[in-house]
Chains A and B, each alone.
Chain A
Amino acid sequence: GENVEQHPSTLSVQEGDSAVIKCTYSDSASNYFPWYKQELGKRPQLIIDIRSNVGEKKDQRIAVTLNKTAKHFSLHITETQPEDSAVYFCAASMGSNDYKLSFGAGTTVTVRA
């Protein structure tokens, strides 16, 4: 099955700086890559996703890049704010061919004021 690895496990950044989280996946058939944000005690919520037919997607301060050849994708958060502090999970699936998501272990991001 799909194996998703996520790094780093913890990340501390100064407010206003950028944060980058990287994930690798094992199954070349995977074609859907969502990122979820989970605040303490709450449910995970989708913040951005990308499909394999594009290399980059941006939504305000958040961007995701995908390198299909190397089988890795990354989340970039610019101009970090205290409300960006949370656990972030990457995931991968084969989209319409397979509903299952395989999740990375998560990155705890702390934004220092």
Chain B
Amino acid sequence: DGGITQSPKYLFRKEGQNVTLSCEQNLNHDAMYWYRQDPGQGLRLIYYSQIVNDFQKGDIAEGYSVSREKKESFPLTVTSAQKNPTAFYLCASSTVGDEQYFGPGTRLTVT
């Protein structure tokens, strides 16, 4: 399935708690991405990273944070500042200007 994994598949949290979603790839891709998917809204870019120790905000970065300490890993933290965190989160990776491979996703529910 493309060598990109996300965990956990389902995650439940109480409002006010920070939560970290894992994304790992063994494809030797330089670039990694986080998207949020809501019904009827397509995929919206949260953060992306082109190289280790560097990342850029996407279109909806508020309330989220990331790190890129290793080429293989790009964890996403959903902070308590994110007003509506319940969503399906997808991680992806790619080489330069090429196809993005997606992970299986994490469905986060915050109550």
From residue B61, how far is it (CB to closest CB) to chain A in Å? Answer: 13
Looking at chain A's contact residues, the main secondary structure is mixed
Q: Are A99's CB and B50's CB within 8 A?
A: yes
In the bound complex, CA of A6 to CA of B42 (Å): 10
Interface size class of A (residues with CB under 8 A): 20 to 34
Interface size class of B (residues with CB under 8 A): 20 to 34
Residues of A within 8 A of B96 (CB): 96, 99
The answer to whether A46 and B58 touch (CB under 8 A), given A89-B43, A99-B48, A104-B42, is no
Residues of A within 8 A of B40 (CB): 9, 105-106
From residue B9, how far is it (CB to closest CB) to chain A in Å? Answer: 10
Please report B residues at the A interface, Cβ cutoff 8 Å: 31, 33, 35, 40-45, 48, 50, 58-59, 90, 94, 96-97, 99-100, 102-105
